Structure 1
Amino acid sequence: MTIIILRCTPLKMHCHSCALVTSSGHLMGGGRGEEIDRAECVIRMNDAPTALGYGRDVGRRTSLRVIAHSSMQRVLRNRHELLNASQDTVFIFWGPSNYMRRDGKGLVYNNLRLMNQVLPKLKVYIISRQKMLQFDELFKRETGKDRRISNSWLSTGWFTMTIALELCDRINVYGMVAPDHCSPHPPPPLPLLRALGPEECAMYISHERDRRGSHHRFITEKRVFTSWARTFNIHFYQPDWEPPPLTP
């Protein structure tokens, strides 16, 4: 797998079963924490919490955390929970290539080097530029849409799911709604775990319709995940749902 650690060593990891845990408010009150922690590998996104009373619903273990460049400062602010939680946790950071430059001008890369000096045992990886281009091509192949022409960004969920497909034999996804969740009659929106986050459906629809840039195609990505679940060993819980059968 062409995800490169700061020391330029490829990531080598394989899990028979993975729990991919989102930061959705749908997880609250579900009591799935012990079930999540029983997976061989637990994969989380950005700064999604495990402490502060969330453990019963989201679990406490973290094997791998995929983090966007835009979440870097939140991760550093929550350093004691996220970075000191376990020496065994792998952190994968992704971002635009100019943020990952190694010539002293890459903002995220510079922060990662400093973080690695302070916590030398931390397992910090970044997604290579070549791999980022592969993720773009995969999105275009699956949707027929060019991510750059459509002025959108792939989400951390896209990177996390795609990485999980490479690492895991079975993926249990927790807290991810179906692509039709917000239409035609959306249920009452749930807040994200992140404090003061936008309402769920309003955010999804706004991002899907936006054409001005700096947005994600959350619904489009979920349609792709639904398609992949018909082929790969992917299952959705909290809320529990299955991909509908293909129409003849």
Structure 2
Amino acid sequence: MKTPRRHGVAVLLVLLMCASYFLLYNHPSFTGSSRDANDTHVGQQEHLRQPTEAAPARTTKPHPPALQGYLGIIDHKPLKMHCQTCSLVSSSGHLIGGRRGEEIDKADCVIRMNDAPTARGYSRDVGNRTSLRVIAHSSVQRVLRNRNELLNSSGDTVFIFWGPSMYMRRDGKGLVYNNLRLMKQVLPKLKVYIVSLQRMLQFDELFKKETGKDRRISKSWLSTGWFTMTIALELCDRVNVYGMVAPDYCR
């Protein structure tokens, strides 16, 4: 009688254990934690599989190229300047009454010559802005006389002075060169550049190539308009010229 009883007790214990495992497996906390663990594991795998987005590249404005042959009066460093569109305004009186000032000022850079004015009622015809002013050695004194208009209120204007080598010598005997150094010392923020001797010789060669004449043999002088036009073609992608007369204007 004892053996069947023990056998029945063992069977009962097995049934109770099975029932306990069944209830534990179906309990909400057990299934929820298992699913959360599975979801976390899957989420980690998906996160690892996601490609990392590349950081956007920082765009920096490129520095303007150096224009060889135009040197700072003090440090002798080359001029760094570039313009997409330029208005080259001549010093003639052909623009008077034309009211082209607003159109001229719309260009990226406005180029003027010598002591050509922008104030005194001329702005409506020739504009207000000046980005670059090309000045001959013979016009330095006139520029100094009008320094309140041309120099003191110049802002970011770049000044390029040209002249014969005897006036631009750096050994203390160049009259124009000495005056320009003094000007820079008095007005340290002024952007003063000169045309180097090597660049002047290149201008002579260009003149001979374009006209067939040797400048020295023919005793010709290059005008400020010649220098300004050549500099503008180096400096600008596109040049609009204002007030320049036709070659046969005086014929």
TM-score if structure 2 supplies the norm length? Answer: 0.72
Looking at structure 1, the residues matched to 153 and 238 of structure 2 have their Cα atoms a distance apart, in angstroms, of 25
* Paired residue total: 183
Q: What's the CA shift string for 1:92-140, capped at 9, x where partnerless?
A: 0000001011111100010001100110010000000000000000000
Aligned mates of 2:152, 2:241 — CA distance in 1: 25
Give secondary structure in 2 for the equivalent of 1:11: strand
Per the alignment, residue 98 of structure 1 pairs with 166
CA shift, 1:85, in A, is 2.1
Higher helix share: 2
Q: Which amino acid aligns with 2:215?
A: R
Match 2:215 to one of 147, 163, 170: 147
- What does residue 155 of structure 2 align with? 87
C-alpha offsets along residues 160-183 of structure 1, whole Å, 9 cap, x if unaligned? 000000000111100001111122
Equivalent of 1:123 in 183, 191, 197: 191
Distance in 1 of aligned mates of 2:221 and 2:232: 19
Q: CA separation in 2, counterparts of 1:168 and 1:85?
A: 24
CA distance in 1, matches of 2:153, 2:122: 15
- In 1: Cα distance, 2:227 partner to 2:174 partner: 20
- Distance (whole Å) between structure 2 residues aligned to residue 181 and residue 71 of structure 1: 25
Question: SS at 1:97's partner residue?
Answer: coil
In structure 1, distance between residues paired with 2:120 and 2:213: 40
The one-letter amino acid paired with 2:233 is L
1:65 and 2:133 equivalent?
yes
Letter in 2 for 1:178: A
Which position in structure 2 is the counterpart of 1:164?
232
* CA offsets 1:27-54 (integer angstroms, 9 cap, x no match): 0000000100111000000000001110
1:3 matched to 2:45 = no
Amino acid at match of 2:173: K
Cα distance in 2 for residues equivalent to 1:128 and 1:31: 37
Secondary structure of residue in 2 paired with 1:98? coil
Aligned-partner Cα distance in 1 for 2:173–2:114: 23
- Normalising by the residue count of structure 1, what TM-score does the alignment of the two structures yield? 0.73
How big is each residue's C-alpha offset from its partner over 1:10-34, in whole Å with a ceiling of 9 and x where there is no partner?
0011100000001111100000001
Deviations 1:67-97 (A, max 9, x none): 0000010000000000122320000000000
Report what 1:242 is aligned to: none
Q: Is 1:134 matched up with 2:202?
A: yes
Q: Measure, in 1, the Cα distance between the counterparts of 2:121 and 2:226.
A: 27
Aligned mates of 1:119, 1:83 — CA distance in 2: 8
